[in-house]
Amino acid sequence: MSREQPIIDVHAHVLLPQLEALAREHDPEGLAAQQQTDLLRNGALSQQNSGLMIRERWPLLTDPAARIGHMDKSRVEVQIISPSPSHFYAFAQKQLAAKLYQEANRLVREYIDQNPARFHGLGLAPLQHPELMVEALDDAVLTHGLAGVEIGSYAPDPHGGTVELSDPRLEGFWERAQELGAVIFLHPFGCPLESRLDRFYLANTVAQPAENAVALSHLIFAGVLDRFPQLKLVAAHGGGYLPQVIGRSDHAWQVRPEARGCEHPPSSYLGRLWFDSLVHSPVELARLVETAGARRVLLGSDYPFDMGSDYPVEAVEAAALGQDEREGILRGNAADLGLASLARSQEAVLEREGI
């Protein structure tokens, strides 16, 4: 591993079977309803193929040794590990949601402690309960020493409607995240277009980038980034569709009074966000760098799912970027999030202990 700046993958997942067991124990009907909704959204064929994929990649999702072997092949030196978004369990009522985030944070810490030179982690915070978000973040960062938390693009509100990232009830969460310097990793899971996406794997190929665009638009247009300019929010999948068509948002900001909740044109806020590099196209990656800025893109693989990249470093190297831009994505930009220093401090601990 490089003693200066390691190659850091910010988008890598782990499955936590114990967490699903906890959800099933306390709310089997809620879990069954979520699984039925997933079937409706994805369709039977995609659900079947996803099940086969998970079984095939189970060791990569659960076994640290298998993970390290794949990381070595793909030239990734450090992974920032987050729970699979299937663990969001947005159906959970308040008491169960608290149990789940506490257990998720503990399990992620336990997993990354098996190889702290190569792993760091993100916990979970239950977006469907805004009143729990601050304590979930504190539990992840202060109690378990994680870099931050992973959240979805929206959640069903137990009182009706949805909790969007523009929700005023999240103001305390954004404030606390900025205060702690915590990383907030935005990763969609599910899209309320329901059965319109139940074939051709549209529930992933179209819904994920659409959900990213909707969630980021809520964040931008509501002025969240005006109030919390130091917020460290990383959007999975290159931010979805939004960076590629941000001009339409700028036009709405100019001509529609209801779209003027932010102080500046929406495109200006791309430089206050971070995006992973997982866009599946060297042309789109170069475009993302152009629109968001070279210092705002980080290496991401979506390890180890089939919609991810098995060789994310090579994907970055294939884009028409300058050497400094490539090195920033692979190594240097993570320093602005504090992730590089976390990786180096973990390495220093191991050296001191002779491990």
Domain count, the chain: 1
Which helix (H) or strand (E) covers residue 53, if one does?
helix 44-56
Asked whether residue 288 is domain-assigned, the answer is yes
Q: Angle at Cα 233 formed by Cα 273 and Cα 301, nearest 5°?
A: 90
Asked whether residue 129 is domain-assigned, the answer is yes
Closest listed residue to residue 18, CA positions, set 54, 62, 71: 62
What is the rounded average pLDDT of the residues 284-309? 94
For the stretch 89-98, what's the b/e string if a residue is b when 16 or more beta carbons lie within 10 angstroms of its beta carbon? bbbbeeebbb
Q: How far apart (Å, rounded) are the C-alpha atoms in residues 311 and 329?
A: 14
State the amino acid at position 62 in one-letter form.
T
Give every CB contact of residue 333 below 8 A, 6+ residues apart in sequence: 274, 295, 296, 297, 298
Is the Cα dihedral 14, 309, 298, 262 positive or negative?
negative
Can you read off the two tokens belonging to residue 295? 């210092």
Asked whether residue 347 is domain-assigned, the answer is yes
Asked whether residue 320 is domain-assigned, the answer is yes
What is the rounded average pLDDT of the residues 130-148? 97
State the amino acid at position 34 in one-letter form.
Q
The pLDDT of residue 325 is 96
Which helix (H) or strand (E) covers residue 150, if one does?
strand 148-151
What's the farthest any 2 CA atoms get from each other in the chain?
Answer: 62
Of 48-52, 325-329, 338-342, the one with minimum mean pLDDT is: 338-342
Q: Residue 309 to residues 72, 169, 264: CA-CA distances in angstroms?
A: 14, 36, 35
What confidence tens digit (pLDDT) does each residue in 178-213 have?
A: 999 999 999 998 777 767 888 888 888 898 899 999
Can you read off the two tokens belonging to residue 269? 């806020």
Provide the angle, in degrees to the nearest 10, between the axes of the packed helices 207-221 and 246-255.
40
| Phi/psi of residue 21, nearest 5 degrees | -60, -40
What is the rounded average pLDDT of the residues 264-271? 96
The pLDDT of residue 355 is 39
Asked whether residue 256 is domain-assigned, the answer is yes
Can you read off the two tokens belonging to residue 168? 């005023």
Which helix (H) or strand (E) covers residue 155, if one does?
strand 155-156
Q: Using the predicted structure, report yes or no on whether residue 310 has a pLDDT greater than 60.
A: yes
Asked whether residue 225 is domain-assigned, the answer is yes
Please report, in angstroms and rounded to a whole number, the separation of the first and last CA atoms in the chain.
Answer: 14
344 band by pLDDT with thresholds 50, 70 and 90: low
What confidence tens digit (pLDDT) does each residue in 67-113 have?
A: 999 999 999 999 999 999 999 999 999 999 999 999 999 999 999 99
The pLDDT of residue 197 is 83
Residue-range definition of the domain harbouring residue 87? 8-353
Place of tokens 């060791």: 59
Which helix (H) or strand (E) covers residue 232, if one does?
strand 232-235
Can you read off the two tokens belonging to residue 71? 């990381």
Place of tokens 């089939």: 306
Closest listed residue to residue 112, CA positions, set 85, 141, 80: 80
For strand 297-298 and strand 274-276, is the pairing parallel, antiparallel, or unpaired? parallel
What confidence tens digit (pLDDT) does each residue in 212-247 have?
A: 999 999 999 999 999 999 999 999 999 999 999 999
For strand 155-156 and strand 183-186, is the pairing parallel, antiparallel, or unpaired? unpaired
Place of tokens 């959007």: 235
Q: Residue 68 to residues 3, 64, 77, 219: CA-CA distances in angstroms?
A: 18, 6, 9, 35
* Residue 63 belongs to domain with CATH number: 3.20.20.140
Asked whether residue 2 is domain-assigned, the answer is no
Can you read off the two tokens belonging to residue 243? 């960076």
| Residues 299 and 276 sit within 8 Å (Cβ to Cβ) | yes
Asked whether residue 35 is domain-assigned, the answer is yes
Closest listed residue to residue 19, CA positions, set 59, 55, 62, 54: 62
In the chain, what percentage of residues exceed pLDDT 90? Answer: 75
| Residues 9 and 303 sit within 8 Å (Cβ to Cβ) | yes
